[in-house]
Structure 1
Amino acid sequence: MLSNRQIKLIQSLKQKKFRNEYQMFVAEGEKIAKEIIEHQSFEVETIYATAEWLSLNSKLLTSGISICEVTEKELKKISFLSTPNQVLLLLKITKLKEEQPDWTIAIEKLQDPGNLGTIIRVADWFGISQIVLSEDSVDVYNPKVIQATMGSIARVAVEYKDLDQWISNQNRPVYAAVLGGENLYQTNFESKGVILLGNESKGLSTQILSKVSHRLEIPRRGGAESLNVSVACSIMSSEIMRQISLR
């Protein structure tokens, strides 16, 4: 049975200040819950789930995990979704290991939760395990971001950095998506690098652009002024991984 204290705690995690204070966040839904538990990406504080979900997923439930069986009515009290989906995880925010994979997606001043969630899915699809965001970007633990990842948050590490300094310290080529750059499809990509993207409306700042090694443009044939940042990320990632797969 849910206590008022549990309800108050979980509901408070809609706000970033309380996620930071308690160092916890929420993930909801059957697919996301299974991915996170199976990959052990985050430490599970408590699983709140219906009896049906607990019965069907008993093999996932290892010893030591706190479980709170709830009714559908109780789940509605703590869910951030308009239609709750049988299970909600209360998770601890974990400190990430400082590792440098072959490829990283870096983004300056990303603001939209849906865009970040989609970019995390894109990274997961193309096997890119790290995303670096400027410190003034949207919070990765925002419930809308977590939901939009559809479970890919379990396999992609998202970090916040002073992007100017981080790019300056790179020993890999940095490929920035800009208008008026070199044709993406005429670029020979190296085996390691950084895909750099900018703010949804303003793009990349002059300061950040001054640090990049390659400025690339996705060629346009129609009349649209720009591409959504997650679409641009997907196109660049696809071309890079296509070239790498042919070597």
Structure 2
Amino acid sequence: MEYEPKYTVVLRGQEFVLTKSQIEFDSPNYFTACFLGDFQEAQTKRLELSRNPDLFKLIVEYLCGYEILPLDDKSVPSSMPLEAGLRNLRADALFYQLKGLVKSCDNMAQSHGRSIPSNKLFMAIGYTVGFPIMTDDDPSKIMLDRLHLLKYAMTPEKSWTTIVTPGKLARMGELQLPEAFIDFEGLQIVSGIEILAREVVGDYYQKGWKLIGWRFQPTDIHPGGHKTEVLIVLEDMRCNCKQSFQ
């Protein structure tokens, strides 16, 4: 039997092995560009990313030619609702440039009446803080005391905002979603995120916007200690989606 090259993809410390036939499935894509192009990964046959390893298990199945939709409770992490799982899977499909999977996700969302209009707008709110917000032992767990400190630092003058389309939003990567935080501590976290958004843009809910997710991304250690990139995303719920935030 002829030897088939293998490639290693590492996501948050978890290793996945893909064959050449897998990365060529639904190509050209991110994997063929990295492993079969002129990038360093073509020599090392190793790629390290910070994407979600649980969702990547679905990507691996898809690259084997298997049907992975519709999702069920066993397909996604227990803390991720099915609707959020479909949105996050689509975001990963866009990142990996898997056009067939993106189309399948869109068809599934449309069949459930959850397709996103192409003229829908989102607001990204960003800030970089000079201390960690996530715990060391669990990078997905937020420290409430640090979250409360943020409201004193995250002011309109020090933060930035920009309007993005659904396509750009999908390429921004995975977000933590409010609907996944349903216990007492989780509700406190959602409330804290809402406060941060209001500190920057005012009463966004009254202006027709809704909180849909956030991400805290630790950056490399610098001479002064840790830094964390804060991203909060609001969705425009108004009928006139082309109206600017005022």
Provide the TM-score with structure 1 as the length reference. Answer: 0.28
